[in-house]
Structure formats: structure tokens, C-alpha cells
């Protein structure tokens, strides 16, 4: 497979994106039917290794339309899920009014320096979605830092370590006034509470591109020998609605603002029935991925059509080989 993936030049079809990620035949692996209590849908899960098992923190939409987060744990990350009998992490509107209409789309990062897992999630406030952070050690007790951005902002995750002496947060503010696209930004902090030094990290393309006008981060950045691996979505508006597809980028390890590579083609898009049809058609939306060093596999956990949870599997070395052959983006394009 690797040989095919490293075509000499980039361009239409040259990079064989469709061979990079494989969907197991068990897909979708989790849906509302598996849930121990009545829910509408389960999707967009965060994923992390915890005590030797795969832990998903799943976005669960109840039958009012509000979301909360519930934990599902499995030894092999495919089957035998043990799902909490009730919500694991619920909105707390009384103390955090920004969580009025629920909490959504978590991303988990292990912060070795403070020995805590950071859960970065979308709080659905009356003024629109914004980014909140909570810290946990055991996925039972969650200590909220609270809202760290203004609305409208979402699709956020932390880098796993300080870089240039600061914590770095990727997020996706929607700036209404300019109407020139919705881009991925990065901000820095000393304490995870107050964020500044805001910069555009990746910009949406324009025109006919699959990632024209609106992009956002998916799982947290993954540190690799070649750089920070980024999986992001592009939202293409068509006459029939929006199509959510995924692309990859690679950022320099000690200066993530330097984008080393970015795929021209999307590497995963809605193809299967469970991705094409659901509460929201034509969506693949991961919030977590897990690297398995023994097999070099990366397992991507994604929401399919805002209705169920599926997996796509690849090998890290195949992804890095693929990216080495992708263009280095023109960084003057950003603003």
C-alpha cells in the first residue's frame, strides 16, 4: 500500500486518498440502540487511552435536542463497550450559564505537566457556541476552568505540552463582519485560563475547493516525528446542503504556526450509508484518535451523519509518507 501512497507529484487522484483510511466492516460501532437510557443520537466522541482501555467521551443528544457527554470504555476499542448508566458530564446551567443549551463535541488531551486530562468542549450558550475547558483525573469528577473564548467559537483542542513556554489552544471563531471565510486560529496561555496572542493557523480556501469558506479542527494535534499531525474538516456548501469532509496538515513541532504540509484532496468523506444519511446527512466528524504503537495504527473515532459512531483506521507511517508528498502551503495566504 505504502508504495501506491507515495506518488511522485501531487495533483488530482495522484495521492490515492481513498486508500489511506480503512473502515472496518463492523461500522458503525455505536448508536443510540446501544445506549442504556433513552437518547436521540450518539456521535462526535473524544477518544483517549485510559487505564489500558479505549475511553470515548461521547456526545449524546437527548430528546429535547440538548447534548451531554457520556463515557464508553472498551478493551479493543471496537466492541464490548461499557457505557455509563447515566450521563457522565452534564451541562451545569446554574453555575455556568453558557451551558444553557448543552455541551458538545469534546476533545481530550493528556497534559503530562499537570498530570490531568483536559476536556475541551463546546458550550451552547444563548449567545451562540463557545469554547470551555474542564480538567479531570478519573473521568468521574470534572473541574471546570469555564468559558475560555467568546461566542461564536468551537472546534477547539489543546496541544499536549507547552511550546515556547506557553499552552497552545486551537479553535475556530466565527467572525461575522468580514464574510471572507471561517478559519482555524491558535491562541496561547500561561495558565489555561486567559488566552491571547491570537493568530490564524490554517485558512479556509475559496471557490470550488472542498474546504472553501469554512474549516475547523477535529481531534487534538498528534505529536509525530515529522511534526504535529492535524485532522480538520472542510464544509462545502452545495445546492443539496453541506458536505463535511476531512483533510490533513502537518505543523512544525516547536513552532506550530509554521504549516509544513496540507493535503489538497480530502482524505475521508461521507461515502457509506451511515455517513450519508442521518439527522444531518453527509457528515464525518471525528473528535478523537488513538495511536497504537505496537501496530503503528491510528484509529479515528468519528460521528457519522450526527447519528452514530464509526472508526477509520490508518498507519502513521503511511500518513507521514503521504504528507511528505503533499504541498507546503503558501503562508502568505492566511490573512
Nearer Cβ to ligand BMA, position 5 or 123?
Answer: 123
Nearer Cβ to ligand BMA, position 280 or 320?
Answer: 280
Query: Which contiguous run of DSSP H or E holds residue 4?
Result: helix 2-5
- Please identify, among the stretches 19-27, 94-102, 277-285, 315-323, the one whose residues bind ligand BMA according to the rule CB under 6 A: 277-285
Distance of CA 215 to the CA centre of its chain: 11
Applying CB under 6 A, the site for ligand BMA has a residue count of 9
Q: Is 153 in the site for ligand BMA (CB under 6 A)?
A: no
Nearer Cβ to ligand BMA, position 257 or 280?
Answer: 280
Helices (H) and strands (E) in the chain, counts: 3, 20
* Residue in this structure with the C-alpha cell 439527522, named with its chain if needed: 279
Least Å from the CB of residue 303 to ligand BMA? 5
Q: According to CB under 6 A, which residues from 86 to 145 bind ligand BMA? A: 104-105
* Residue in this structure with the C-alpha cell 469555564, named with its chain if needed: 146
Nearest residue to 136 (alpha-carbon basis) of 120, 159, 156, 158: 120
| Burial 51-68, CB ≥16 within 10 A → b, else e | eeebbbbbbbbeeeebbb
Least Å from the CB of residue 216 to ligand BMA? 7
Least Å from the CB of residue 59 to ligand BMA? 7
Round to whole Å and give the CA distance between 108 and 272: 27
Nearer Cβ to ligand BMA, position 49 or 150?
Answer: 150
Q: Which of 221, 227, 303, 329 binds ligand BMA (CB under 6 A)?
A: 303
C-alpha cell recorded at residue 279: 439527522
CA dist list (Å): 234 to 138, 214, 245, 281, 331:
33, 6, 5, 15, 18
Nearer Cβ to ligand BMA, position 14 or 63?
Answer: 63
Q: According to CB under 6 A, which residues from 5 to 64 bind ligand BMA? A: 44
Site residues for ligand BMA per CB under 6 A: 44, 104-105, 244, 280, 283, 285, 303, 306
Amino acid at each position: 500500500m505504502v508504495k501506491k501512497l507515495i506518488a511522485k507529484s501531487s495533483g488530482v487522484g495522484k495521492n490515492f486518498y481513498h486508500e489511506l483510511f480503512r473502515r472496518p466492516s463492523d461500522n458503525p460501532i455505536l448508536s443510540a440502540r446501544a445506549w442504556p437510557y433513552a437518547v436521540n443520537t450518539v456521535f462526535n466522541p473524544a477518544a483517549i487511552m485510559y487505564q489500558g482501555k479505549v475511553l470515548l467521551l461521547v456526545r449524546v443528544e437527548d430528546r429535547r435536542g440538548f447534548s451531554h457527554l457520556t463515557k464508553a470504555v472498551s478493551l479493543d476499542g471496537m466492541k464490548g463497550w461499557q457505557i455509563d448508566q447515566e450521563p457522565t458530564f452534564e451541562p451545569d446551567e446554574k453555575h455556568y450559564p453558557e451551558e444553557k443549551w448543552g455541551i458538545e463535541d469534546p476533545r481530550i488531551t493528556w497534559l503530562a505537566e499537570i498530570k490531568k486530562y483536559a476536556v475541551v468542549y463546546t458550550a451552547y450558550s444563548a449567545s451562540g457556541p463557545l469554547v470551555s475547558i474542564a480538567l479531570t483525573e478519573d473521568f468521574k469528577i470534572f473541574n471546570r476552568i469555564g468559558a475560555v473564548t467568546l461566542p461564536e467559537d468551537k472546534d477547539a483542542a489543546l496541544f499536549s505540552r507547552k511550546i515556547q513556554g506557553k499552552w497552545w489552544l486551537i479553535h475556530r471563531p466565527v467572525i461575522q463582519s468580514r464574510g471572507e471565510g471561517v478559519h482555524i486560529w491558535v491562541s496561547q496561555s500561561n495558565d489555561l485560563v486567559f488566552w491571547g496572542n491570537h493568530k490564524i493557523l490554517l485558512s479556509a480556501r475559496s471557490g470550488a475547493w472542498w474546504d472553501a469558506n469554512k474549516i475547523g479542527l477535529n481531534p487534538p494535534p498528534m505529536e509525530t516525528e515529522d511534526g504535529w499531525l492535524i485532522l480538520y474538516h472542510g464544509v462545502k456548501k452545495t445546492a443539496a446542503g453541506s458536505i463535511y469532509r476531512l483533510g490533513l496538515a502537518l505543523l512544525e513541532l516547536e513552532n506550530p504556526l509554521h504549516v509544513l504540509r496540507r493535503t489538497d484532496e480530502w482524505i475521508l468523506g461521507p461515502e457509506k450509508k451511515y455517513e450519508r444519511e442521518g439527522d444531518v446527512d453527509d457528515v464525518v466528524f471525528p473528535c478523537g484518535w488513538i495511536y497504537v504503537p505496537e501496530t503503528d495504527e491510528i484509529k479515528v473515532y468519528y460521528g457519522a451523519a450526527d447519528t452514530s459512531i464509526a472508526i477509520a483506521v490508518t498507519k502513521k507511517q503511511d500518513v507521514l509518507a503521504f504528507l511528505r508528498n503533499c504541498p507546503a502551503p503558501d503562508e502568505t495566504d492566511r490573512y
